[in-house]
Structure 1
Amino acid sequence: MRQNDAVAANAGPRVIVFIVFDGVTLLDVAGAGEVFAEANRFGADYRIKIASVDGRDVTTSIGIPLGVTDIAASIESADTVLVAGSDNLPTRAIDPALVEAVKAVAGRTRRLGSICTGSFILAQAGLLSGRRATTHWRNVRAFARAFPDITVEPDSIFVRDGDVFTSAGISSGIDLALALVEQDHGTDLVRDVARWLVVYLRRAGGQSQFSSLIEADPPPQSALRAVTEAIAANPGADHSVRSLAARASLSTRQLTRLFRSELGTTPAGYVEMVRIDIARSALDAGRTVTDTAHLAGFGSTETLRRAFVEHLGVSPKAYRDRFRTAIGT
């Protein structure tokens, strides 16, 4: 990207460009866009443009059209370019014309960013190489495998690396937009925007609090099958490496190697993730923290609290209050 002081600061309206395409997630655009629009209410001067490869309107993820104002290649300069995401980006080939359009406009902006899986487009364009980045929690592993030259931060709500920003799943585009407004106009103005939109200025915890920590099972014929099923059936039992190895008829070294190759973690790490997922389900159902600690095999509420803070960035009580069923409570 060009480092252009004339574009960067207080030289008139700040042009915010959203790059969109058919299938784009509507909230990626609308959520972040509303932050900039509301900032204008409090004294900012943002001008929002919606750009596609050919300048035609696009159909969004919910089937309604989204009006486009510009051809991406025609954008001569912008303060900020944000590439929106889509459920399709991690699983399908990305349109080369879209990648080339993003490459071109990236050279004409002060700041570049992505929302949710829009990071796959930035990565395909080579704009994240050697950088730190994030994406939707469901896709962080696939993202890391596809682009090994990127340092993936799976728990972050958004990541800044220089003037390149990437954000996590969908609504985190709002968090990113708030951070960009704060960078431009300071804390007082962005606090007013957050209050107006009834959102947190900075939400507690990372995106892992929304994800399933256990995302894969061992292959059907794997020696780990009996081990993982035993852990899930009785999370509070003795699941030391030695006892798990005995159950699988393996040495402790063989067991650890299998966990690494098939599940991407250690035996102890896997046990803790299972316990956390069971604890989250219990808290979702309205169980007390004390009951949850016993049910999930943590032994004490303090052990449960430490595990939640380490892996989810929030306490069990905060998690329960945030995610339990709203109706009837």
Structure 2
Amino acid sequence: MARPPPSPRPPSGVGVAGAGSVPPFSRYLLLLLRGRAVAPGGRPPPVSAHAPLRPGRGFSGGDGGRRGDRGRLFVGGGGGSLRGPAAAADRTVGRRPRCGAGGRRGAVLGAASRDGGRASAALAKERLLEAKAAGPRLCVDLGMADCMTRKETSRLASQIRRLYGANRRAEKPFWLCLTEFVVGSLIYEECFRMNDGFSNYLMDTTEESYLDLFPLDAIVYLTPDSENVLEDIDPNKVYVLGGLVDESIHKKLTLQRAREQSLQTARLPIREYMVKTVNTKNYHSETLAINQVFDVLSTYYETRSWPAALKAGVSSGKGYALPDAVK
């Protein structure tokens, strides 16, 4: 019995159309949209065809394509507004890889910058922990926070941020401590509101007073109204700054507080190393913000030079300058 002639084979990559089947070209287009078709010549489809298309501007519904003004359907990366990994992959198709000295130099500099940043942060942390173990201590007394307005409290929170930043950059930092830092108080809320990453600051914060933390004979309260001049920085001492921004200038408030607590007091040697300058308002003040006082202390601790330290912390607006600057 003679065999029936074999059926003709369909073209490669295209399905057979029969009753209820998808026409060959439509099936190929459908496979292409799903990322499963092989383009003519054996080449794989574009990279963007492997990722699901996302409707974006100009896309009609979720059909995976975009219809232009003339009703044509654009597939893959042919003008659609792809986003995310698919878009990034699509943008790299056909692009020359970066090469040459410029590309390599940029990559090396970028890696060095990242490594340098991590090394700098690690070094700063190491120095701060060394200061905690053996360095001088600096406390900011927040026990007078109730005397300030909200505006003054916000300014103090900003000064604390600047003080901490300067200490973190210092080659010989102090170990910082905020005392009477009461949870829920206005200064507490402002420090967290205004200072990003405040909870990660490498310093001590406590609701206790410095009187309960350190021996009285180790505490030196720094106040501009003191009769005693600070001559040197002793690593065994605890230096206290009054956490106070007083726009109404209540004079001798910190001095009075220190005397009531029977503490040693000292002032910066501004009068001893600087001279008054002539200004239109005849204004001269030795009252500095806590971050400015710290700039003086930190510079002196590193250089052992009061002129250099005072130059770093006392601005010209205070009405004082070094004698050489006046000449």
TM-score, structure 2 length as denominator? 0.30
Q: Which one has a bigger Cα radius of gyration? A: 2
Report which of the two has the higher share of helix: 1
